[in-house]
Chains A and B, each alone.
Chain A
Amino acid sequence: MSLKIKALTKSIWVFHMAASPCNNCDIEILDLLTPRFDIERFGIQLVGSIRHADAVLVTGSINRKVRKRLKRVLAQAAQPCFVIALGNCSCSMEMFGTSYNDNKPLDEITDVHAYIAGCPPKPEAMIQGVVALIQAQLAALKK
């Protein structure tokens, strides 16, 4: 497993999963790919299927209907696959915690490896979050 994780730190393919978000984090993720930030420089790429992904970015306060879908999609991920909670909603549900549609933060549904807070997080913050995750994993490997 450790070798696999080390390999993962080089060029991360991410899958983006919107789970009842407000669209803002999602658009900022796409923003990362466009010329201003261009994370493809680092080999980070958005992929179309979670089966290809090394990391999943989950946005939104996950409601009852999307939760089943989310679990099903996450179960299809090839391990190791890192789960990143992006934005205040998936970290802590922001203002949707009391909604009748049974919203839950992401860490009540699955294990989360990194939290990136913000509403929405700035693109720089997203890059920093991913970098922090990589460094933490590398540090853990060295021990």
Chain B
Amino acid sequence: MATKSKTQIIPIGPYHPLQEEPEFFKLHVEGEKVVKLEIELGYNHRGIEKLAEGLTYDQIPFLVERICGICSSSHPFASVNAMEDIADVDVPLRAKYIRTFIGELERIHSHLLWLGLAGHFLGYNTVWMWAWKQREPVLDLFELITGNRNHYAMFKPGGVRRDVADEDIPTAMRLLESLEKPVMMFTKIALQDPVLQARLKNVGVLTKEDCVELGALGPTSRASGVPWDVRHDHPYAAYGMVDWDVIVTQNGDVFDKAVVRLLETFESVKICVQCLEKLREVKDGIDAELKEIPPGEGVGHHEAPRGEVFHYARSDGTNRPIRYKVRAPSFMNVPTNHRAVVGYTVSDATITLAAIDPCYCCTERMLVVDANSGKQVMGWKDLLRLSQEKTHRLMEKYNSRMDRIWT
């Protein structure tokens, strides 16, 4: 084999069978090892910040809801928090519980969605089908309470748009209870299945230092032992009034990220049940009648399923903001791929790229295919030898690992 550059480029995307969204990664590989990653964004950029400057405060929750269809309550949640920060109003207790309930219900559906997609990325479609089957009842519950499966339009500055009817609460409770069994099953699968163990353990490790340096958020950082969770650190809505735990694990690999998400699902169910119980008693209205936003600036945030959503609004006293800034968690999490993917094999790259639960619609960007530089053609014999070496390496590695799992 030639001795000079052995780097080749594998483009993933923008339109790749595995990806729901257009995004472009260039993997620079040597053999099967990834040595460098380039990320190109922009395929989802719609200029939402500029559009928000042309809308009234009442309309903005509808716009930011459409930043992302999976975290479609997180952005409005942060948005109304920002507006209420400017106006310095307190919303009624009942509205707080409803907000918290919707936010947590969304976390359940989003984490189940991620689990399914993770299975899909690994080529383990059984996990995908099972997880998404269990996700459907959550969407039904959303439809019951808000009227739509996604894009709930529940948030408004000063409160929520719709009340939760008393007669819906038993149904919701039943649904949440029925969820616990399948989620427990998934947790056991994830913790014990040798296939998932072999594919996920010690893959895509992100160290604590990397997380802190790059500002990684949500389950991505919590799986690396960084306990950042704005629900806990900067309590808002009803998060300070219900009982729940921040889930933190230490290894930082893809497996731990899955564990964090699964265990968080239980916490979310716990929060939802507490909120519903409170909704039976607390009846102080759902709207603080916030009519005007005074001049000033406000910061709002919410812990979305993927991490902290951050909104900043600047008001000059009119009914539209003069600057509206949105930062989605993936904007901070996607750069961690630079560290998490490099050093592992190509086959691990897809799941590692997916492990942060990326949301490019939120991040608003993508990549362009161009595989010219540094390309090196290998002969058939070289490839054969490479693949044989790899198989031997894997056999040694997995024999020992499988032993550990089964004993």
Contacts and interface: CB of A to CB of B under 8 A. Distances in A.
B146 interface: no
Interface stretch (A6-14, A95-103, A109-117, A133-141): A95-103
B46 A23 contact: no
A96 B128 contact: no
A103 B22 contact: no
Contacts of A126: none
Interface string B32-50: 0000000000111111101
B46 A26 contact: no
A128 interface: no
A119 B125 CA distance: 27
How many chain A residues sit at the interface, stated as a range, is: 35 or more
Given A34-B128, A65-B45, A26 B151 contact: no
With a 10 A CB-CB cut-off, give which of A50, A61, A65, A103 has the most chain B CB atoms.
Answer: A65
A143 interface: no
A63 B17 CA distance: 21
B100 to A, nearest CB: 22
Contact of B46 (A24, A25, A61): A61
B21 A21 contact: yes
Given A95-B62, A119-B151, A48 B17 contact: yes
Interface in B374-405: none
B366 interface: yes
B43 A34 contact: no
B78 to A, nearest CB: 16
Contacts of A96: 46-47, 51
Nearest to A119: B151
A31 B140 CA distance: 13
Contacts of A3: none
Interface in A60-100: 60-61, 63, 65-66, 69, 73, 94-96, 98-100
A95 B64 CA distance: 11
A66 B116 CA distance: 27
Most chain A CB within 10 A, of B133, B136, B150, is at: B150
Name the residue among A17, A28, A35, A95 with the largest chain B CB count within 10 angstroms: A95
Candidate in B21, B44, B46, B72 with the most chain A CB atoms within 10 angstroms: B46
Contact of B150 (A17, A27, A99): A27
Contact of A26 (B21, B51, B72): B21
Given A18-B21, A22-B361, A69-B22, A99 B47 contact: yes
Contact of A69 (B14, B47, B149): B14
A34 B133 CA distance: 7
Interface string B304-333: 000000000000000000000000000000
Given A22-B66, A24-B69, A120-B69, A31 B43 contact: no
Interface in B235-290: none
A100 B50 contact: yes
A17 B51 contact: no
18 contacts: A16-B20, A19-B22, A19-B43, A20-B44, A22-B66, A22-B69, A22-B72, A27-B69, A28-B150, A30-B20, A34-B116, A34-B136, A48-B16, A65-B366, A66-B14, A66-B43, A98-B54, A99-B46
Interface of A: 16-28, 30-31, 34-36, 47-50, 60-61, 63, 65-66, 69, 73, 94-96, 98-101, 103, 119-120, 122
